[in-house]
Amino acid sequence: MGEIEGFILAGGLSSRMGEDKSRLRLGGRTFVEVAAGALSTVANRVRVVGSRSGVESHGLPVVPDVHEGLGALGGLHAALSSCEAPWAAVVSCDLPFVTAELFGRLASLRVDEVDAVAPLQEDGRPQPLCALYDAARCLEAAERLIRAGELRPRVLLGEVRTRWVQFEELSDLAGARHLFDNVNTPEDYEEAKGVLGAGC
């Protein structure tokens, strides 16, 4: 412990959902509570990143955006800026099936020659918003990208030494097929409730 701090990105506008995604519930817990529970097994403390009204009501310490209006990269930059541990574990609040086992696996893959540990989803796409970052090294890269007007978090992973975690390296974890299910719309939310109800 002490090596990793956890950060939950909860600053999105939730425009497609029509309500604050961070307050949606699955299995009696808000999405933020699910993320906090998963992160707390590897992180010495967990904070919520966001500047929107009411973010403090999640009951966790809040990290405000340094640069507002920059989307997910802005939230990631805020997390890295405030991180006091060598590593930051970052997760978006709209990934409600992340688990303690997932973050344990990602944390176990950190080595000195690596600046980030990021999974690839089953479809091969990188998942920068459920990843571990060397706080100092990745903050420098994030600031360079912001100055250049490049706001895609996956580009950050291409700028640093990233340990890409193949989906096959995670497929033995419970619920692996749904770890990276993203809930952005009411339809996504209904599907997620169905997954939970089916015990997948």
Six token digits for residue 155: 């580009």
Beta-strand relationship, 130-134 and 87-92: antiparallel
Q: What is the CA radius of gyration of the chain?
A: 16
Q: Quick one: residue 190, left, alpha or beta (phi over 0 = left, psi -120 to 50 = alpha)?
A: alpha
Give the confidence band of 174 by pLDDT, cuts at 50, 70, 90.
Answer: very high
The single-letter DSSP state of residue 43 is -
Quickly state the pLDDT bin for 19 (edges 50, 70, 90).
confident
- Tell me yes or no: is domain 4-198 CATH 3.90.550.10: yes
Lowest mean pLDDT among 2-11, 13-22, 97-106, 148-157: 13-22
Asked which of 52-61, 89-98, 148-157 is least confident by mean pLDDT, the reply is 52-61
pTM of the model: 0.92
Q: Please, which pLDDT band fits residue 22 given cuts at 50, 70 and 90?
A: confident
What is the rounded CA–CA span in Å between residue 197 and residue 14? 24
16 pLDDT band, cuts 50/70/90, is low
- Mean pLDDT score, 169-193: 93
Summarize the confidence of residues 152-173 as an average pLDDT: 97
Mean pLDDT of 34-42: 96
Residue 55 has pLDDT above 80, yes or no: no
> At which residue do the structure tokens 């939950």 appear?
8
% of the chain residues with pLDDT over 90: 76
Is residue 181's pLDDT more than 50? yes
Contact partners, residue 132, CB within 8 Å, separation at least 6: 4, 87, 88, 89, 90, 103, 106, 107, 110, 116, 117, 118
In this predicted structure, the answer to whether residue 200 has a pLDDT above a threshold of 50 is no
**Per-residue pLDDT band at 198 (split at 50, 70, 90):** low
- Residue-wise pLDDT tens digits, 116-126: 999 999 999 99
Domain boundaries, the chain: 4-198
